[in-house]
């Protein structure tokens, strides 16, 4: 069966090794597959993002290296490898060297608990979601290491900004995931996907197709955008005031590792969002179940980064006070309200009344909190004037 071809290939390779070496070989194959697949996705996404932003901004984008510029990621990689590695004289060289490694390693570890297809998960553990958030917290440490070890005030300011932002938005990120854990009754990513199996009335039983699931998915993706330092939440890299943020003193391959870590982190949170809310590797309609499960997962995975790119090309950067107010005065209360909505959904009898109650419980606070954020803010209509 084509759906299990990669699983069968792995088992065949593992059985070729002696019995004592089989667990180690199995782990090495999983590691190589994760790094190879997602590093390739990173290269593809960079060229698609630059092309997409070019079209949004009415320009061509990369079009010199290879046909239509498709070899630009390869040129960028070669440039990063051969570029001189400069370290500030007063920097802590050991910490300065370790910071990008501490950023990249946890995001690849987080991908180990994300099922990319039927029977295709590197680590099927009972506390998969907990493991994902636990190893993801190490990225905050790496950001502080980079900012502090560089001995640069702009670098340290960027690190402090990043830490404030990441800690603030990590709270609603986790709370929005807790709603799924409550309904599924498990922390296992595999069992969460199993809880979304099947169809009702021709529609999938994905959690996103419920009032609390839709609200949780939107909250999760907004918080994930901030956690990934993506626009409009890219304040740690504010070029206008802190030049490049916490990695301003990095060059060459170390800088490329930070770039790689941010993109792999974006893939990781997108993969978790697919697992929690979008049915994982399940097909959207019953008549499409013949398509291999991993095709559905990676198809969904390409859609979410495309949304990140779209937002980056169309939304302006927020101010720091707007960023923090939005996290603590809107995102956190909405995430707590959504927990109550998910609890009611679990215990109310199935039917129209359950939809009405949970929808009202989500929409009411949304309207009230939104008005609270904009009260006493006189926002006039924007008028754009173009030079002639």
Alpha-carbon gap, residue 54 to 386, rounded angstroms: 20
pLDDT of 45 higher than 80 = yes
3-state secondary structure of 271: helix
> In the chain, what's the furthest Cα-to-Cα distance?
75
Q: Which of 312, 316, 324, 139 is nearest to 240 (CA)?
A: 316
Arithmetic mean of pLDDT, 242-266: 83
This prediction has a pTM of: 0.91
Residue with tokens 């065949």: 12
pLDDT of 251 higher than 90 = no
pLDDT of 207 higher than 90 = yes
Arithmetic mean of pLDDT, 242-251: 76
Helix (H), strand (E) counts: the chain: 15, 2
Arithmetic mean of pLDDT, 140-160: 85
Residue 296 vs residues 77, 152, 229, 309: alpha-carbon distances, Å = 29, 45, 27, 20
Of residues 300 and 68, more confidently modeled: 300
The DSSP secondary structure of 193-259, one letter per residue, reads: HHTT-SEETTEE--GGGSHHHHHHHHHHHHHHHHHTT-TTS-GGG-HHHHTTGGGTT--HHHHHHHH
Q: Are 182 and 342 in contact (CB under 8 A)?
A: yes
Give the distance from CA 266 to its chain's centroid: 3
Q: What pLDDT is recorded for position 200?
A: 87
Residue 175 vs residues 188, 336, 338: alpha-carbon distances, Å = 16, 7, 9
pLDDT of 57 higher than 90 = no
Of residues 111 and 319, more confidently modeled: 111
Q: Are 249 and 85 in contact (CB under 8 A)?
A: no
Alpha-carbon gap, residue 163 to 139, rounded angstroms: 10
pLDDT of 208 higher than 90 = yes
pLDDT digits (tens, 9 = 90+) for 67-119: 888 898 889 888 888 888 888 888 888 988 999 898 899 999 999 999 999 98
Arithmetic mean of pLDDT, 168-180: 94
Q: How confident is the model at residue 238 (pLDDT cuts 50, 70, 90)?
A: low
By mean pLDDT, which of 80-84, 169-173, 174-178, 187-191 is the weakest? Answer: 80-84
Q: How confident is the model at residue 66 (pLDDT cuts 50, 70, 90)?
A: confident
Q: Which of 306, 297, 269, 308 is nearest to 174 (CA)?
A: 269
Q: What pLDDT is recorded for position 259?
A: 85
Q: What pLDDT is recorded for position 162?
A: 85
The CA-CA-CA angle for residues 235, 133, 245, to 5°, reads 20
Arithmetic mean of pLDDT, 334-363: 91
């Amino acid at each position: 069966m084509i759906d299990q071809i990669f699983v069968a290939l792995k088992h065949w390779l593992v059985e070729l090794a002696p019995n004592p070496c089989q667990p180690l070989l199995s782990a090495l194959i999983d590691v190589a597959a994760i790094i190879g697949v997602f590093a390739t996705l990173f290269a593809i996404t960079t060229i698609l993002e630059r092309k997409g932003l070019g079209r949004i901004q009415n320009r061509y984008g990369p079009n010199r290296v290879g046909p239509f510029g498709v070899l630009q990621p390869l040129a960028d990689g070669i440039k990063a490898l051969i570029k001189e590695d400069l370290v500030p004289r007063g920097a802590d060289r050991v910490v300065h060297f370790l910071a990008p490694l501490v950023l990249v390693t946890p995001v690849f570890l987080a991908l180990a608990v994300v099922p990319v297809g039927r029977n295709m998960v590197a680590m099927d553990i009972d506390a998969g979601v907990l493991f994902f958030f636990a190893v993801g917290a190490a990225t905050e440490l790496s950001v502080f290491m980079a900012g502090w070890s560089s001995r640069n005030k702009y670098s340290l300011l960027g690190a402090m900004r990043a830490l404030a932002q990441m800690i603030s938005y990590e709270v609603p990120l986790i709370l929005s995931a807790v709603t799924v854990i409550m309904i599924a009754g498990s922390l296992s990513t595999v069992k969460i996907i199993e809880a979304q199996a099947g169809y009702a009335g021709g529609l999938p039983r994905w959690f996103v197709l419920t009032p609390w699931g839709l609200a949780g998915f939107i909250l999760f993706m907004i918080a994930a955008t901030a956690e990934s330092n993506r626009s409009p939440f890219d304040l740690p890299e504010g070029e206008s005031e802190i030049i490049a943020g916490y990695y301003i003193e990095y060059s060459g391959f170390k800088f490329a590792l930070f770039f790689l870590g941010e993109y792999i982190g974006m893939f990781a949170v997108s993969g978790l969002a697919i697992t929690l809310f979008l049915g994982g590797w399940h097909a959207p309609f019953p008549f499409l179940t013949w398509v291999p499960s991993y095709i559905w997962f990676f198809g969904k995975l390409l859609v979410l980064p495309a949304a990140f790119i779209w937002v980056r090309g169309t939304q302006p950067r927020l101010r720091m006070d707007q960023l923090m107010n939005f996290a603590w005065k809107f995102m956190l209360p909405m995430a707590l309200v959504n927990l109550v909505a998910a609890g009611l959904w679990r215990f109310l009898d199935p039917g129209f009344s359950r939809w009405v109650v949970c929808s009202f419980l989500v929409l009411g606070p949304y309207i009230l909190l939104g008005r609270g954020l904009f009260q006493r803010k006189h926002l006039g209509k924007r008028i754009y004037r173009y030079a002639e």
